[in-house]
Structure 1
Amino acid sequence: MEQFQAGEIVYMIIRNPHAQDVAQVQQAAIVENPDNPNELALFAHDNYYPLSNEFALFKSEDEAEQAYKDAFGSPEIEGFNG
């Protein structure tokens, strides 16, 4: 897994939990884990997630958008700037 530091902004592809065929590029932050200050966490959608290989994280929005296009084709979802 890539190394991150608290305070970094990253981008991830996240699926809508209510409609699995809907996904979007989402901005998230790398922060100190509030439950364990010695670890980092991912903060997105007002929730903390442990950093793991479960998440494909990208350092730039362009990288995330390209990965999205590679995985899902041309986006046709609201709010996408691709």
Structure 2
Amino acid sequence: METFLPENYHPGQVVYVMYRNPHTQSVATIQEAAIVNDPYHPDQLALFLFDAYYPITTELAIYTSKEEAEEAYQHYFGDDD
């Protein structure tokens, strides 16, 4: 799986994020998000998710396709059958 750094993104790009529920840490979902120009830091990009802007860091699980995100989700949260 390729690691994408902030400089690999462009405004308007749709990405998929593995998102953990802040109230129930054992629950995670895949959410569609957008790469946008950060309105608070014009020289940086941000992740726009749930009507909020997040800085793009290596701590985020960002995937460029839904299939890639689903594969990672199954790896980390799928059944151990």
Shorter-chain TM band: 0.7 to 0.9
**Distance (Å, rounded) in 2 between the aligned partners of 1:61 and 1:41:** 19
1:26 to partner: Cα distance: 0.4
1:56 to partner: Cα distance: 1.3
1:22 to partner: Cα distance: 0.5
- After TM superposition, the score normalised by the length of structure 1 is 0.86
**In the alignment, does 2:35 pair up with 1:30?**
yes
**In the alignment, does 2:33 pair up with 1:67?**
no
Q: Percent identity?
A: 47
Q: Which runs of 5+ in 2 are unaligned?
A: none
Instruction: Report the 3-state secondary structure (helix = DSSP H, G, I; strand = E; otherwise coil) of the residue aligned with 2:25.
Output: strand
Residue aligning to 1:46:
51
**In the alignment, does 2:17 pair up with 1:12?**
yes
Structure with the largest fraction of strand: 1
| Count of matched residue positions in the alignment of Structure 1 and Structure 2 | 74
- After TM superposition, the score normalised by the length of structure 2 is 0.87
